[in-house]
Structure formats: structure tokens, C-alpha cells
Amino acid sequence: MGEFHLAMISTGGTIEKTYQPQSGELRNETSVLDHMLAQLETPEVVIERIALMNVDSLEMEENDHRLIASTAMETSHRANGVIVVHGTDRLAVSGDATCAAGTPGAPIVFTGAMRPYELRNTDALQNLTEALLAVRLLQPGVFVAMHNKVLQFPGVIKDHDAGTFVRSTD
């Protein structure tokens, strides 16, 4: 069986936050995606890592969203699937921008986390596992995979009270 060429674009966000003992804060400093991937079995997948930026999504600006959208769209024409790891607060803005940037050649799946991987009760591993499976099952399009759900852009928003994504018409 052929291998599946997966491109994984990281942008920062809660999922990768690490703890700074001196200040007692959580910051985006180092990528923890490698630690997560090392725990998962993905025998047929070759992963190309693209460290695009390392920005808390609350601080993302218009050109950040545009860069994420164009990178994901271009990559989808040379890979079998694309995962974008993104802070949840502005994930839907990048998702909509990616939709507006063209017609993808492969599934583009956004994911993130409400609680950093460094926490004992994180949702990061669940969400990354779901994105890794969704990208193999879906047709070309732009999606978010998180909390046992896959939703297709456009028309997806974050429900801040529930801490998860929903369809805007729900």
C-alpha cells in the first residue's frame, strides 16, 4: 500500500503552550507536537512538518490569517492531506479565509485544544488523533476536527461558553 503524505502546519496556540516556572505562566515557546506524535501509531503516514508561525491566536492579525490560508491551500495541491494546528479563539477566522482562498486539492483539517498538552487532563491528544483520522477519511474541503466532531467550513463558529465548535446555524 502506498504511503499517505500528510503536511502538518503549526501556528502556535493553546495546544502547544508550556509552563514557565519562574513566572508561573503558560506561554507559546516550544513545539510539543513532536511529543504527541511520538505517542501515536501512524504506520502508513509520512508527516511533513511546517512550522509556519508561533502566535497566540488572540494576537493574530489579518495578514497572519491570510498566510495560513494561502499556505494550507497551496500545500493541499501537493500533499494527500493537510492538518493545521491552531489556537481555538481565531481558528474559525483562518478556516473561513482558507475556504475563500480557492478549491483545495485534498482535505484541510484544522484542530486545536482548550487545555494545553502539558496539562494532565488535556484534550490535545484526542483532537490531534481525530484530525489525523479525519484527514484520511474525508474528501477535499476545509474542516475542523475536535471533540468527536468534524464540521465543514464555512459556517463554523466557536461556542465560547461550551468551549467547542458548532455550526453557526445550530
Residues that bind a second copy (CB under 8 A): 1, 14, 17, 19, 21-22, 24-26, 39-45, 114-121, 123, 125-126, 129-130, 132-134, 136-138, 145, 147-150, 160, 162-164, 166-167, 170
Q: Which amino acid is it at 108?
A: I
C-alpha span between 141 and 165 (Å, rounded): 17
Report the nearest approach of a second copy to the CB of residue 47 (Å).
11
Which of residues 28 and 75 has its CB atom nearest to a second copy in the complex?
28
Report the nearest approach of a second copy to the CB of residue 92 (Å).
17
C-alpha span between 37 and 55 (Å, rounded): 21
Which of residues 42 and 70 has its CB atom nearest to a second copy in the complex?
42
Would you say the C-alpha torsion 51, 160, 165, 67 has a positive or negative sign? Answer: negative
C-alpha span between 40 and 20 (Å, rounded): 26
Report the nearest approach of a second copy to the CB of residue 35 (Å).
9
Report the nearest approach of a second copy to the CB of residue 70 (Å).
28
| Continuous segment of H or E residues that includes residue 103 | none
Q: Helix (H, G, I), strand (E, B), or coil: what is residue 20?
A: strand
